[in-house]
Homo-oligomer: A and B are copies of this chain.
Amino acid sequence: MANVFEAVSERDTLAARRAARLAVSEFNAAYCAVLDDGDLKDWPRFFTEDAFYNITSRENFDDDRPVGLVYCEGRGMISDRALAISETSMFGPRYLRHYITNERVTGIEEDGTVLAGCNYQLIETLSELPEGRLHQAGRMIDRFRPQEDGSLLLASRIAVYDTLLVPNALVLPV
């Protein structure tokens, strides 16, 4: 049997990172499709029960300030947020679209947790702004936990925005 050290070195190879990146890429496309469709009830199912979810500014992140426009500890809080957004019916006259690029896997931990990141843009279109505009641009810092069926769930997603239009009471998920 392989000992832990061998298990690690076996796991975190270039080939393992490449396979993980393809899986992360599939995850992100499915995740964004749910947000883009505007139906947030399926959004929490992309997270583990104990997941951490945070949207914070680059300035706060760089200064290690544990705050954020959105700050959720556990899938329960993520579900609450999904519900709150749905009930304020922001999605009627507003279209959103997420663009994920520059996906990277920066490490794979002993237990299989995948450390990943990407850049993102969120474009919003309003009826009074039919030409659309950049609503948010930044990067994601993610931890994915592999599940028994081989799928991935987010154990942690920190969205660090460079830029944010915030004319809204409720911040849109990314």
Decide if A3 is an interface residue (CB 8 Å cutoff): no
Judging by beta carbons under 8 Å apart, are B162 and A97 in contact? Answer: yes
Of the residues B22, B30, B97, B101, contact of A18 by C-beta under 8 Å = B22
Q: Which of A4-12, A66-74, A128-136 is the contact stretch?
A: A128-136
In chain A, positions 22-73 with a C-beta closer than 8 Å to chain B are 22, 26, 28-30, 32-33, 36, 58
The answer to whether B163 touches A131 (Cβ under 8 A) is yes
Chain B, residue nearest A31 (CB): B102
A162 touches B132 (CB 8 A): yes
**Cβ contact within 8 Å between A119 and B97:** yes
Counting CB contacts under 8 A, is A82 at the interface? no
Q: How far, in whole Å, are A21 and B26 apart by their CA atoms in the complex?
A: 9
Question: Hey, which bits of chain A sit against chain B, CB under 8 A?
Answer: 14, 17-18, 21-22, 26, 28-30, 32-33, 36, 58, 95-104, 117-119, 121, 123, 125, 130-134, 137-139, 150, 162-165
